[in-house]
Amino acid sequence: MKKITVLVACLLAGAAISAQQTQTPPATPPPAPTGYQDTPMQPNGKWHVHDGMRPQPRVVTPGPFVSLAPPSDAIVLLGSGTDLSKWQMTQGGGPVGWPVADGVMSSGKGMIRTTQDDFTDYQLHVEFATPSEVKGNSQGRGNSGVFLNGVFEIQVLDSYQNVTYPDGQASAMYGQFPPMVNASRKPGEWQSYDIIFKGPRFEGDTLKQPATVTVLHNGVTVHAAQTYLGPTMHKQIGKYAPSNAKGYIGLQDHGNPVRFRNIWIRPLAEAQ
């Protein structure tokens, strides 16, 4: 009797093991560099630069797209035609090699920048669309960027159902502050940034007032007079230098074909 009990127990155990073995294993997520833990801590002492454990911003569906036409005193950087005369290659300063047609410019080889390089405080409107054909993930999907005073990046990325480290997603102050919420539209759809930037102030070499930025992503506030901790860098935070007080507007080539249109800027005057 004892032998039979042992035999039945062995059979049951074997059945349990084989049932476990035939279960479908959990799907392994695709490898994605969603963050870093070996980077410096943010000054708040809570998160590393590009910390993948930082909370993901809540998703907000923006209202219908509205294309904001330039006001009469705006400097139109990219209008309805093919005029790229207000832009140059960042390296070398030659004419821009990015393709343009009917007011739509697609990011190509090399970073570009405005020819004007003395912007300080301004309102900047940018419309962009990440590729409608989704390729890659995390930072490899629709990556570009808008550089304020040449060194402070507002990230451009396809952040529609695309997890990445929060301080690197669309409209993030890259490597420093995630947007308050994720107001991204779908891949291929036109989106807008309305950026109000105040450049840093120096007395001699001493920083007197850091740069601040307010950003609306698709009409949704994602930064409200947030302070830049320093110039944008990958995996670290840059240090302020007097040369950051003014600069150009730059657009990043990150190897993904991101489209841009309707870009204009209004330098801000002090209230009288």
Q: Does 179 bind Mg ion (CB under 5 A)?
A: no
Q: Which member of 145, 166, 178, 231 binds Mg ion (CB under 5 A)?
A: 145
C-beta of 218 vs 252, nearer to Mg ion: 252
Total binding residues toward Mg ion, as defined by CB under 5 A: 4
Residues β-bridged to residue 150: none
Sole window of 32-40, 53-61, 141-149, 225-233 interacting with Mg ion (rule: CB under 5 A): 141-149
Closest CA to 233 of 161, 152, 126, 122: 152
Sole window of 116-124, 136-144, 202-210, 264-272 interacting with Mg ion (rule: CB under 5 A): 136-144
Sole window of 80-88, 130-138, 239-247, 249-257 interacting with Mg ion (rule: CB under 5 A): 249-257
C-beta of 90 vs 252, nearer to Mg ion: 252
CA distance 231 to 229: 7
C-beta of 155 vs 182, nearer to Mg ion: 155
Angle at 224 between CA 219 and CA 225, to 5 degrees: 135
Closest CA to 145 of 180, 174, 123, 122: 174
Residues 146-165 that bind Mg ion (CB under 5 A): 155
Instruction: Tell how strand 181-182 and strand 58-59 pair up.
Output: parallel
CA 148 to chain centre: 13
What lies within 8 Å, CB to CB, of 88 at 6+ separation is 94, 95, 96, 112, 113, 114, 115
Question: DSSP letter at 219?
Answer: T
C-beta of 191 vs 252, nearer to Mg ion: 252
Sole window of 4-12, 34-42, 110-118, 143-151 interacting with Mg ion (rule: CB under 5 A): 143-151
C-beta of 74 vs 142, nearer to Mg ion: 142
Where along the sequence are the contacts to Mg ion (CB under 5 A)?
Answer: 143, 145, 155, 252
